[in-house]
């Protein structure tokens, strides 16, 4: 490939924006064109985030998003909730778009609105976006122009359960996440003196990732009980699913099913045991399978900022531009220890 | 009370032994007589563990356990698994005994042996020990001479579920523990470079605390799916139980039930939300109740070394000697933040 | 002692206020009368900070501080910087006062103003306050009515260096603190995703504790180079002082000097090596002494919220009321591990 | 470059070996030939360290090191102390060698022996090795066949001080390191329940990196007081140097000097403030300069496993093979947050 593909990031100074920059820095074919950030425009990104000095010293812009899109092959929207929908509509058709916000993931608008406690501003645009989990709908993504990138908890649950789609009667899910999932905005939940040694569940049964999970897995709301939890670490999500199947399945049958479904998925690793430390910094999703008392217990671990956000976004981008999905991503080995 | 009650610790230099010393240091009526430790006898405990300098400077002894028991009103056995049973038999009748090991907790000897992968050396002594969860069998403990102190995971699950005893059809349990639960012995699982940012489940369905949990709750093995997990913190266990009841129960009915069962329990705090940071260093067990999709989701948090071990041991000891169960324990406020 | 001494806390919901409550909960003679907090008055403190449920369920008040003082034997001011001075003046003479803020510590008002970047509002009140480090000026404290409680970094440095007073030519100090020193207010520096694994120095040579350190040690500004640093933990300060003496001193002579100066100090523990983990939760200050290349290297460790704030405050309070300085404090054994 | 350069790692399963694999995985020109490990030979490295599954699945060998060298363009020795010297002698001349152990760093054999408490087995080989800090002796490295890769503390101190070489009268150094510096072997110092919240200095003035530091900087032992310290994090070293110069120097003069000395050094970033979080996972060494009370206070931060070990090793390797020193290394952006 001779010519670089130009990509821009709107919302470049948040954690998913920074993670896009980290990955793009190791990518052979994508070239960053614009980094946009309203509040810090005019500064170099490496002045705002000095870890980037020498890696990326681009000046932040607050250029009109439409201009940015016109000048780029692909735009990543790495904005807070509800901010994406304000501008995404105008960008449709100007460039490929990968939106990391939840605004265009859920087809059922009332469900989106119920879980986000808000009114969707541009519901008519939702159908323009393809929900992008490369392991589950690669073909659609290849042909798509606009991707709604999955939520971090959501993809960890979906990858853990997708091979059992249509067989699930009920599933209880416990997911524990690191603090980077809360982003760069300060909050009580990420105040170090308490978070440092705390474990706390929150939004049990009402978390905003529930709608996309049930949409992807073909479940009713009542079939999924989801307990999101915050843990005292920075990166990673461990998900544990206790699955009641419509018809029992042995561990070995389940294993075969998972191996088959994920046979062509370079970022899925099926292991006897999974642990967050083995995926930090990488785009892997590790999965383990146990059968116990007639239920399956499936666990998955991901890095919430990589497979749970920016890594999958690049993987989607690779596919949209006809590149191997692993391009630029397999060079990111887990940072261990 | 004019006269001090004399207590001794066999296995004083392990983490539960140290925690007993910490609590006894704040107790008005118990006086430490002997601290026993095979390997470091002759040294002061504060030489082995210098945080105790000025708090407890007793010399460690390797005196015959029988002599220790004869000279003490109560002996705490804070030994590793399988070590307690070797000496407990000889001490019966010499003094009151509180054993913090798993050796005398399980009445069903084959079940104990199956989960501990060993042969019980003195099965005939098991019946001499009362399983001691003060919130569940206070009367028995008051009259007991020998207590089998519950396991840390076990008590966290039992307190979360006991009010629903006989109503449980099936329960899926996810428990995450801090590293102090592994004790002072070095192991791969507590190597800081990895444990620092890791979450990992282990012994799914085969953990050695399962027998005592099902014994206490009157469950069959097949009714409990237990996923023990290690987290990147030092103190605390958070337990989440997804409970399928024989007959559905609303959250408010469940709340009433819990309030009633635990009405006279000063260390049980029923809260809307629970978090480990609110119990660290204290003997509290905080419990929350949510009803979702026809199941109850009950969470409990404890400090594994206090309510999960040495705090409950002192609470049991208080009861055995006719003291209020809170004596010396309510002065240990949670260390927050 | 038959009658309880009544104490109140103004600013009860900050971290030093909470720590006062934790210690007072274990104190046999002090009884909490009022807990005052502007923003949350009317609520129980245990609603604001649920870890206190069952430990302290007093209702927070926003009563006039003068009324609080009139009704109390002693008032603790646990307010943010610059807030204390606004009310302390009015309280003088109404009750004993222990102020945990920096406002009345520094006799040299211009120096205070220079380091705090502000104008002192009530400079005339400063002389009414005795700087309270019990190990250094116990007699003065016993006779005092108003105490300026030392800063956390300050006391860690002062206790490390005081025995060498008048012999110091120059001292370079590196101190690293846990995040609880920043209090409950959210800030970039305590955002968990970064603080979790970060070490960062700040305010090198310009930290606001410098004036009280040089005042206590009789140094000129130019004789102390102070490098405060934030570390990825919650509680504790480790201070390392590289000391150039006017006249060299061997390690053994230094050891003798320290032992002599601190002979009657129950919270000073001189050790071969010191570590933060051995003092967390306790009022101890551990000190080690090394001689190297003609300089002394003295290290001290404290819990910043105990010896560095509320523990010393209670110790001062004990002395002011004729109690042993250890009263209620030695029952707080370090929380180890 | 058409042909890959083949490199092998002896001692591949330790932390520096793993870090070499992580970096080599992102390197365009180096190809791993053999991974050698005595104890686990025959297994795939990804079975021993499952985070590598899909990244590196080579089988571990225990082949004769000489054979390995004969078949490789370069051999990395990532062995524990004292193990390298046993085999390095035999490999000289067979391939290029980069030794990550301390065995060949120090020209003054008695000094090495004194600080390592051992007798050097092959002192005659030491002169065959070039001490490799690319920022300080790039030319020598380019021409070298055998490199002694610097110690982690050592390079953090050397890079902080090298521009002041010959001007230093005395320097006091405080360095704090993460736990990964202790390697994969279990030890009391890396037991999570204590390390998690501890800060502890050790080997004050006697640490084994002192000889290479004074050798590089041209100091006498008495001119350097070194206080190594362990902190509660995994990756990173922060070094603080309090420097007494022979002749005073302003901060701005120092800044100019550093900028000049490091003008052609892509991994040195001179900043107003430095923090560990900004270098984790990368090969950068960030440096800050403050002048205070007539001394310079220089701080540096590195990732101990990258710039402090395997990153510098690859940088050296790049130079030895005529590649740009940044090859494969600038794609490793810091993992932030």
Q: Is the Cβ pair A334, D279 closer than 8 Å?
A: no
Q: Higher-confidence residue: B83 or A16?
A: A16
Find which of B32, B232, B331 to mutate to test the C interface (most C CBs within 10 Å of its CB).
Answer: B331
Torsion of Cα atoms, B158 then B160 then B164 then B168, to 10° = -80
Distance from CA of B278 to the nearest CA of C (A): 4
pLDDT of amino acid C2 = 55
CA separation for the pair D102, D108 (Å, rounded): 13
Q: Please list the ranges in chain D whose pLDDT falls under 50.
A: 1
Find which of C180, C197, C214, C225 to mutate to test the D interface (most D CBs within 10 Å of its CB).
Answer: C197
Q: Is the Cβ pair B191, D188 closer than 8 Å?
A: no
CA separation for the pair A299, D159 (Å, rounded): 45
Chains that touch D (3 or more CB pairs under 8 A): A, B, C
Known active-site residue B125: no
Q: With a cut of 70, say whether residue C1 has pLDDT above it.
A: no
Give C-chain residues touching D243 at CB under 8 angstroms.
Answer: none
How far CA B152 is from CA of A101, A237, C97, in Å, comes to 41, 25, 44
- pLDDT, average across residues C161-189: 98
Q: Is the Cβ pair D333, A25 closer than 8 Å?
A: yes
Find which of D25, D50, D58 to mutate to test the A interface (most A CBs within 10 Å of its CB).
Answer: D50
Q: What is the 3-state secondary structure (H, E, C) of B60-116?
A: EECCCHHHHHHCCCEEEECCCCCCHHHHHHHHECCEEEEECCCCCCCCCHHHHHHHH
- pLDDT, average across residues A199-225: 98
Domains of chain B as residue ranges with CATH: 5-149+307-320 (3.40.50.720), 153-304 (3.30.360.10)
Q: Which of C56, C74, C152, C317 is catalytic?
A: C152
Q: With a cut of 60, say whether residue C151 has pLDDT above it.
A: yes
Q: Given B52, B266, B335, which is nearest C281 (Cβ)?
A: B335
Q: Given A234, A269, A337, which is nearest D180 (Cβ)?
A: A337
- pLDDT, average across residues B218-228: 98
Q: Evaluate the omega torsion of the peptide bond into residue C187 and state whether it is cis, within 30 degrees of 0.
A: no
Active site residues of D: 152
Give A-chain residues touching B273 at CB under 8 angstroms.
Answer: 200-202
CA-based nearest residue to B131, from B210, B235, B216, B58:
B216
Distance from CA of B232 to the nearest CA of A (A): 7
Interval A231-259: pLDDT, tens: 999 999 999 999 999 998 999 999 999 99
Interval A83-104: pLDDT, tens: 998 898 899 999 999 999 999 9
List of residues 6+ apart from D93 with CB closer than 8 A: D145
Q: With a cut of 80, say whether residue A2 has pLDDT above it.
A: no
B residues 229..268 contacting C (CB < 8 A): 234-235, 266-267
Give D-chain residues touching C207 at CB under 8 angstroms.
Answer: none
Q: Given A184, A192, A233, which is nearest C195 (Cβ)?
A: A192
CA separation for the pair A237, A301 (Å, rounded): 6
pLDDT of amino acid B2 = 54
Q: Given D15, D50, D330, which is nearest A337 (Cβ)?
A: D15
pLDDT of amino acid B274 = 98
Interval C12-34: pLDDT, tens: 999 999 999 999 999 999 999 99
Chains that touch B (3 or more CB pairs under 8 A): A, C, D
CB of C333 within 8 Å of a chain B CB? The answer is yes
Give B-chain residues touching C267 at CB under 8 angstroms.
Answer: 54
ipTM reported for the complex, 2 dp = 0.97
CA-based nearest residue to D4, from D228, D323, D263:
D323
How far CA B324 is from CA of B138, B318, D203, in Å, comes to 11, 6, 49
CA separation for the pair D267, D285 (Å, rounded): 6
Query: What's the token pair of residue D110?
Result: 């008695």
Helix (H) or strand (E) holding C157: helix C152-161
CA-based nearest residue to B317, from B23, B97, B12, B80:
B97
Tell me which DSSP letter residue C151 carries: P
Q: Is the Cβ pair B276, A222 closer than 8 Å?
A: no
Interval B300-315: pLDDT, tens: 999 999 999 999 999 9
CB of C195 within 8 Å of a chain A CB? The answer is yes
Predicted TM-score of the model (pTM): 0.98
Q: Is the Cβ pair A271, D335 closer than 8 Å?
A: no
Q: Which of A56, A74, A125, A152 is catalytic?
A: A152
């Amino acid at each position: 490939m001779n010519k670089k593909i130009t990509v821009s990031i709107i919302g470049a100074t948040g954690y998913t924006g920074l993670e896009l920059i980290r990955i793009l820095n190791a990518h052979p074919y994508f070239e960053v064109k614009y980094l946009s950030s309203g509040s810090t425009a005019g500064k170099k990104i490496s002045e705002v985030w000095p870890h980037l000095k020498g890696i990326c010293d681009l000046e932040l812009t607050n250029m009109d998003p439409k201009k940015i899109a016109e000048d780029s092959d692909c735009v990543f929207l790495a904005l807070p909730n509800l901010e994406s929908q304000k501008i995404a509509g105008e960008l449709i058709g100007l460039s490929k778009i990968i939106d990391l916000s939840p605004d265009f993931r859920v087809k059922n608008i009332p469900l989106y609105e119920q879980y986000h406690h808000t009114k969707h501003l541009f519901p008519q645009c939702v159908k323009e976006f393809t929900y992008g989990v490369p392991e589950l709908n690669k073909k659609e993504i290849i042909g798509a122009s606009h991707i709604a990138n999955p939520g971090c908890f959501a993809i960890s649950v979906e990858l853990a359960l997708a091979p059992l789609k249509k067989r699930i009667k009920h599933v209880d899910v416990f997911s524990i996440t690191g603090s980077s999932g809360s982003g760069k905005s300060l909050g009580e939940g990420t105040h170090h003196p308490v978070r440092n040694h705390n474990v706390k569940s929150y939004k049990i049964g009402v978390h905003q990732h529930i709608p996309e999970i049930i949409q992807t897995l073909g479940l009713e709301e009542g079939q999924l009980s989801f307990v999101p939890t915050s843990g005292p670490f920075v990166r990673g999500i461990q998900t544990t699913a206790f699955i009641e199947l419509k018809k029992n399945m042995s561990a070995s049958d389940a294993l075969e099913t998972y191996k088959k479904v994920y046979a062509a998925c370079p970022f899925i690793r099926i292991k006897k045991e999974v642990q967050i430390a083995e995926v930090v910094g990488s785009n892997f999703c590790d999965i383990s399978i146990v059968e116990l008392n007639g239920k399956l217990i499936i666990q998955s671990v991901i890095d919430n900022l990589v497979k749970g956000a920016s890594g999958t976004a690049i993987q989607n981008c690779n596919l949209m531009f006809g590149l191997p999905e692993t391009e630029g991503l397999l060079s990111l080995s887990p940072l261990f220890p």
